[in-house]
Amino acid sequence: MLDVGDGNLVYWEVCGNPDGKPAVVVHGGPGSGCSVNMRRTFDPERFRIVLFDQRNCGRSRPHASDPATDLTNNTTHHLIADMELLREHLGIDKWLMYGGSWGSTLILAYAETHPERVSEIVIPAVTMTRRSEIEWLYRGVGRFFPEAQERFLQGVPEADRDGDVFGVLAAYSRLLADPDQKVREKAAQDWVTWEDAVISQEANGKPNAYSDRPADAVMALTRICAHYFANGAWLEEGVLLRNAHRLAGIPGALIHGRMDMGGPLQTAWELTKVWPDARLYVVEDSGHTGSPTFRDLLSQAIEGFSPPRKG
């Protein structure tokens, strides 16, 4: 556990080769936490692999599933500071950064703040959490899933349904922190049911990918997601794209599924236009949840940034 201040302890672990090339895994969500499978992305003989659970999720404490946990000090800027504190704690000069979906946004925000600390970037599923992207994920894509969107909207009080999508997300944020456990649980279930619907048509997707998680993990994920997205992740609109010139000199590999309904390819395309050192791989048979082709391209990208094998 790393004490990052504000009463927060961030869980971290290091595996692989202590003398290997440093690589940090930045999980998605926000609020998903790390999994054991994330260790397997890198060759443990060649990499020193760092994993951590972002504030208030996974094994970090206090946990967002507890309504008494205050999320005021959980913002994108707090997470950037936590990552930098962890890097210093581990004595790492530069690290390769890996992560997709929300993890992509956090990687870009960190790298544009501390570009001198980043050796390479690998992103499966590119997002920048612009308000336009949030609006698409929680309203725009509903044109393909009108029944599911209606259920999602019905999960909040009627007075909160008719404004913009951020009012809906703020209403969910309040419900997910309600002192009544039944209110919290219903709001969390309504949220993950929507998330399941958005990826439901992906050929390689897993049914109930979000709702099948343990109850406390679902609660933390939904509460932190609502907290972040209702506030535009505390990022100026388009700031990560405007500041992408700060990534100059950092090699990047962006892997994105053409059929990603929740995070359209446009975001990755726009990023490569202003980040010349990044290469975009478009996977025709993949959505947000990947595919065998997607995983093969991801492995090839990481191999391209891997140190040589010894012996």
231-253, pLDDT tens digit by residue?
Answer: 999 999 999 999 999 999 999 99
Judge whether 27 counts as a catalytic residue: no
In a domain, 288, yes or no: yes
Domain membership of residue 121 as a residue range: 2-130+236-305
Q: Looking at residues 18-31, what average pLDDT do you find? A: 98
Supply the Cα-derived Rg of the chain in whole angstroms.
Answer: 19
pLDDT of residue 22: 98
Q: Is pLDDT above 90 for 208?
A: no
Tell me which residue has tokens 């990044």: 278
Secondary structure of residue 53 in the 3-state scheme: coil
Tell me: do 59 and 114 sit in the same domain: yes
pTM of the model: 0.97
In a domain, 311, yes or no: no
CA-CA-CA-CA torsion sign (289, 295, 297, 299): positive
Judge whether 114 counts as a catalytic residue: no
**DSSP E strands: which ranges in the chain?**
2-5, 8-10, 12-16, 21-25, 47-52, 95-98, 118-124, 252-257, 278-283
Tell me: do 48 and 182 sit in the same domain: no
Could you give the number of structural domains in the chain?
2
Tell me: do 41 and 115 sit in the same domain: yes
Tell me: do 66 and 140 sit in the same domain: no
Tell me: do 207 and 157 sit in the same domain: yes
Q: Is pLDDT above 90 for 221?
A: yes
Tell me: do 196 and 289 sit in the same domain: no
Mean pLDDT of the chain: 96
Q: Give residue 206's identity as a one-letter amino acid code.
A: K
Secondary structure of residue 150 in the 3-state scheme: helix
pLDDT of residue 311: 67
Q: Give the end of a domain, one of 192, 209, 234.
A: 234
How many angstroms separate the first and last alpha carbons of the chain?
Answer: 36
Taking only the tens place, the pLDDT of each residue in 265-304 is 999 999 999 999 999 999 999 999 999 999 999 999 999 9
Q: Looking at residues 172-187, what average pLDDT do you find? A: 97
DSSP state for residue 163 in the 8-state scheme: S
Read out DSSP for 102-149? HHHHHHHHHHHH-GGGEEEEEEES-----HHHHHHHHTGGGGT-HHHH
Are 117 and 87 in contact by the 8 Å Cβ rule? The answer is: yes
Share of the chain above pLDDT 70, in %: 100
Say which of 260, 286, 291, 306 is annotated catalytic. Answer: 260
Q: Give the end of a domain, one of 234, 259, 282.
A: 234
Say which of 27, 227, 256, 288 is annotated catalytic. Answer: 288
Tell me: do 64 and 182 sit in the same domain: no
Say which of 101, 104, 286, 291 is annotated catalytic. Answer: 101
pLDDT of residue 297: 96
pLDDT of residue 204: 79
d(CA 170, CA 176): 10
Tell me: do 175 and 219 sit in the same domain: yes
Judge whether 306 counts as a catalytic residue: no
Taking only the tens place, the pLDDT of each residue in 84-137 is 999 999 999 999 999 999 999 999 999 999 999 999 999 999 999 999 999 999
Query: What Å distances lie between residue 25 and 97, 167, 308, CA to CA?
Result: 6, 32, 21
Q: Which of 138, 261, 143 has its CA nearest to residue 205? A: 261
